[in-house]
Amino acid sequence: MLAISPETVCYLIVKAREFDVKVAPAEPNPGSNPSDDRDVEILEDYADDPTYQELTSALESLNADQLLDLVVLTWIGRGTYDKDQWDEAREQAGDIPAKDAPRYLIGTPLLGDYLEEGLSELGYSCADYELGRL
């Protein structure tokens, strides 16, 4: 079912959590979309950050099918879809161009938690892998 290995997803979970720890919540600009503000803040303030670069590089190295799976896992993890709606969610995720998917994923607060929950819903666990190697 997955085009991306669970071990790769677990690696990305670790990197996303490392990045999230470094991203301080910003005060939203009144009258603007807080989600958009966070994306801009990340790009402006963290572009030279090694953790951001490592996460971005890892995501950009994936092919389109692997990125689609990450988006769907994120959506399943946050409860937008359930595992039985995989095909529907994957079709919807296809609306996000592959070149934009890394930015979309990095701009998702709690990405690591959502990916882990999505994997869990599909019966996978990062405990199955040596996290010390990640």
Over its length of 134 residues, how does the chain's per-residue pLDDT go in tens digits? 799 999 999 999 999 999 988 665 444 445 544 555 555 554 455 667 788 999 999 999 999 999 999 999 999 999 999 999 999 999 999 999 999 999 999 999 999 999 999 999 999 999 877 655 54
Is the separation of the CB atoms in 88 and 81 below 8 Å? Answer: yes
Please, what sign has the CA dihedral across residues 56, 61, 62, 67?
A: positive
The pLDDT value recorded for residue 1 is 73
Which one, of 4, 43, 7, 27, lies nearest residue 125 by Cα? Answer: 7
The pLDDT value recorded for residue 45 is 57
Number of continuous H segments (helices) and E segments (strands) in the chain: 7, 0
Residue 78 to residue 83: CA distance in whole angstroms = 12
Burial call 106-132: b when 16+ CB within 10 Å, e when fewer? bbbeebbbbbbbbbebbebebeebeee
**Tally of CB atoms within 10 A around 35:** 11
Residue 124 to residue 119: CA distance in whole angstroms = 5
The pLDDT value recorded for residue 51 is 87
The pLDDT value recorded for residue 38 is 53
Is the separation of the CB atoms in 106 and 40 below 8 Å? Answer: no
